[in-house]
Structure 1
Amino acid sequence: MFLWISEYFNCKLKILYFIPYRIIFSLLTSFFINLFIIPKLIFYFHKSKKYQIIRKNGPINHILKKNTPTMGGILIIFSILISIFLYCDLFDIDIWYIILILVGYGLIGFLDDYKKIRYKNSCGLKILWKFFLLSTIAVLIIYIINHNNYSNNIQISIPFYSIVSYKFNYLYIFLSYLVIVGTSNAVNLTDGLDGLAIMPIIFLSCALGLISFFSSNIYFCQIMNVVFLKNASELVILCSAIIGSGLGFLWFNAHPSQIFMGDVGSLPLGGSLGVIAILLHQEFLLFFLGGIFVIETISVILQVIYFKITKKRIFKMSPIHHHYEIKGVSESLIIVRFWIISLLLLFIAIVSLRVHINVS
């Protein structure tokens, strides 16, 4: 918006054309929106008695969280959107893909959280309806992205290998679908302990922001072996908005948490990071960047498959963070160690852009 105003009035706000300023302002704006408004949101939820619904079959110590407000993700998404509208170039079509996923998945998450609170159970939306709605929006975005690319050849960056050209077909649509819906649900599964999901989201946003910066510069593209994207610098500003919002939310979500993000936060955050990865042609790298989300998801899949086959369990409870809880590991220790793993996987992912293994 500031770009439009400065261009229309030819005023001194043209300083905001300088990318580093917009990155900093975007981060600080989303941070302070959360910092100042979340306490009011917490007060409102306590007054109206809108609390997190605790799973009956969850870890016993989670009963202590029963009076903790949820749906803090409303403010996360609101602050990101404010920063986008203030500092991003709204003529860039890529920005609108992220806005669509934030709003669309945010509404689905809101409906899911509302039903849990309204009917006082942890079921929320029926699984089939939830996946149908998530899938519909994901397929719509994939179609629009590829319709606007005007090309049948897709360039994809392969970790530890190189950039390869791939013909657009149903296999690529399926891959993109898995990236968006899979990341969205993986973040949702990980969001089970205080601050466990939001810090890896911040790390992942930092990495995608860095890759966006590399991708917008032809010189850095050759050094880091990423796909050149002329307008990728706008995605840096968007990632900084997610980082700022995440930090502002973490201020109140750190253990012991004063508020949870709920599905209204986890679904759109995961989905938006998936879309950014697709726009940067880093679909495969996302598996490293979001490694902690992958680990959590795989633990659930393995648990379900193994139980159906043997009627026994691999883990005491899935996702895997609950397994360690039941084993007696303190919540804060689990959270910090998962953060460390997430950061290490991020470093490996960044290194993989430059290090190539000869497979010939």
Structure 2
Amino acid sequence: MFYYLFDYLEREFDFFGAGVFQYISFRAGMAAAISLLITIVFGRSLIDLLRKKQVGESIRDLGLAGQMEKQGTPTMGGIIIIAAILIPTLFFARLENIYIILLLITTVWLGLIGFTDDYIKVFKKNKQGLAGKFKIFGQVTLGLIVGLTLYFHSDVVIGLFTEVATQTQGSEEITTTLTEIKSTKTTIPFLKNNELDYKNILPFLSEQYTWIIYVLFVIFIITAVSNGANITDGIDGLAAGTSAIIGLTLAILAYLSGRVDFTDYLNIMYIPDLGELAVFSSAFVGACIGFLWYNAYPAQVFMGDTGSLTLGGVIAVLALTIRKELLIPVLCGIFLIELVSVILQVSYFKYTKKKFGEGRRIFLMSPLHHHYQKKNYHEAKIVTRFWIVGILLAILSLATLKLR
């Protein structure tokens, strides 16, 4: 919104200072600052409103230290996260950008699914919330929308640089031309020739079926990362802090991938118009950090599924648009290990119960953060150490730009 306003003022009236809105770095910084202010300033009002409406978390006694003290803490705080992402993006991003449109749809879509789940739990007093099949249906439908758009939309292209030699007056002159092409290539981390084309995954299939493979992969990624973030949201500040670290890394990757000079220097894929995602990502990071103002231990509000499903889905779509989805197991390693710990625990329990007549466990409790709580680690210590691991994984992810 502001981008178009100041662009008009500069073109028509040569308005002093309006040109600064042409810089992505400036708009990204403003988006982060406004997002941070929204969560901090309006977060208190939301908490008071949730308390007034008695929108409190219902806690099961799992034998964890300090767990029952959280009974009645306001939930559905993800509303303020969503607002803090959407408002700065609408203010500072170029809204005709297809990547921005996809991320706005993702934020609203998964926010509504999470809100419905929380509403059923809180107001309908149904601890199960929205049935799992409806959650999965919503995530799969979003995956279809994102996958088909990224595959077929004419604005989703990559830049291909070619060098042409021309003879002028006895000397050879090299010129570089940029061609924008449709492509199903993505980036493989840690490899020198690090591009994978989805059309080559199943070479026995005709190229016309590549879109099916791609869309199925997109659906899997969105569903997995969204549920991984949802499971990670189990102790104060863990999901928000981890998401902020991941979001900042993706913001850097988006900015670099959208710049011709940086992609040439780093020898990475150039994606036209992708730099605009740095504005959205900055708003995302600001929302997560601002939410920690009230969500850090001891939490005054929980994000609920309204926030956690949204954070995971947004991270998945960001990685897909930047064509760094194969980096997710590294960058989102915290989400991955939390999700895997649950899968292993449940699978092993069912297996041992069937084989020995008694279910056995790998961890004291899953997800993994509860395992450490059972070992009497303080909640704040667990979160801090998980953040440290998340930062190390983020550094490793950024290192893949040159580490091949």
Q: Which TM-score applies when normalising by structure 2?
A: 0.85
Distance in 2 (alpha carbons) for counterparts of 1:114 and 1:78: 18
Distance in 2 (alpha carbons) for counterparts of 1:208 and 1:155: 18
Match of 1:165 in 2: 197
Are the counterparts in 1 of residues 255 and 275 from structure 2 also a CA contact under 8 Å? yes
Are the counterparts in 1 of residues 151 and 184 from structure 2 also a CA contact under 8 Å? no
* Secondary structure in 2 matching 1:300: helix
Are the counterparts in 2 of residues 223 and 354 from structure 1 also a CA contact under 8 Å? no
Match of 1:203 in 2: 245
- Per-residue CA shift, 1:1-47, capped at 9, x if unaligned? 01211233434433211222111110010100111111011111222
Distance in 1 (alpha carbons) for counterparts of 2:63 and 2:27: 43
| Mean Cα deviation higher: 107-116 or 131-140 | 131-140
> Is structure 2 residue 364 aligned with structure 1 residue 316?
yes
> Is structure 2 residue 332 aligned with structure 1 residue 302?
no
- Per-residue CA shift, 1:277-335, capped at 9, x if unaligned? 11111011122111111110110111111111112111121111011111211101111
Aligned pair in 2 of structure 1 residues 234, 152: CA closer, same or farther (>3 Å)? closer
Match of 2:402 in 1: 354
Match of 1:271 in 2: 313
> Is structure 2 residue 73 aligned with structure 1 residue 68?
yes
> Is structure 2 residue 7 aligned with structure 1 residue 7?
yes
- What amino acid is the match of 1:326? K
Match of 1:42 in 2: 47
- What amino acid is the match of 2:391? L
Aligned pair in 2 of structure 1 residues 7, 222: CA closer, same or farther (>3 Å)? closer
* Secondary structure in 1 matching 2:238: coil
Distance in 2 (alpha carbons) for counterparts of 1:129 and 1:118: 18
| Mean Cα deviation higher: 18-27 or 163-172 | 163-172
* Secondary structure in 2 matching 1:285: helix
Distance in 1 (alpha carbons) for counterparts of 2:182 and 2:270: 17
**Unmatched 5+ stretches in structure 2:** 158-180, 200-209, 353-358
Compare the two structures and name the one with the higher strand fraction.
Answer: 2
Distance in 1 (alpha carbons) for counterparts of 2:241 and 2:265: 28
Identical amino acids, percent of aligned pairs: 37
Larger radius of gyration: 2
Distance in 1 (alpha carbons) for counterparts of 2:247 and 2:146: 20
- How many angstroms does 1:152 deviate by? 6.8
* Secondary structure in 2 matching 1:61: coil
Distance in 2 (alpha carbons) for counterparts of 1:72 and 1:245: 11
Distance in 1 (alpha carbons) for counterparts of 2:138 and 2:63: 27
Distance in 1 (alpha carbons) for counterparts of 2:183 and 2:3: 33
- What amino acid is the match of 1:343? I
Match of 2:56 in 1: 51
- How many angstroms does 1:351 deviate by? 1.3
Question: Pairwise mapping of residues 63-212 of structure 1 onto structure 2 (< 5 A)?
Answer: 63-148=68-153, 149=156, 153-161=183-191, 162-167=194-199, 168-212=210-254
Q: Number of residue pairs matched? A: 356
> CA RMSD for the aligned pairs?
1.6
Question: Pairwise mapping of residues 25-40 of structure 1 onto structure 2 (< 5 A)?
Answer: 25-40=30-45
**Unmatched 5+ stretches in structure 1:** none
Question: Pairwise mapping of residues 310-349 of structure 1 onto structure 2 (< 5 A)?
Answer: 310=352, 311-349=359-397
> Is structure 2 residue 297 aligned with structure 1 residue 239?
no
Compare the two structures and name the one with the higher helix fraction.
Answer: 1
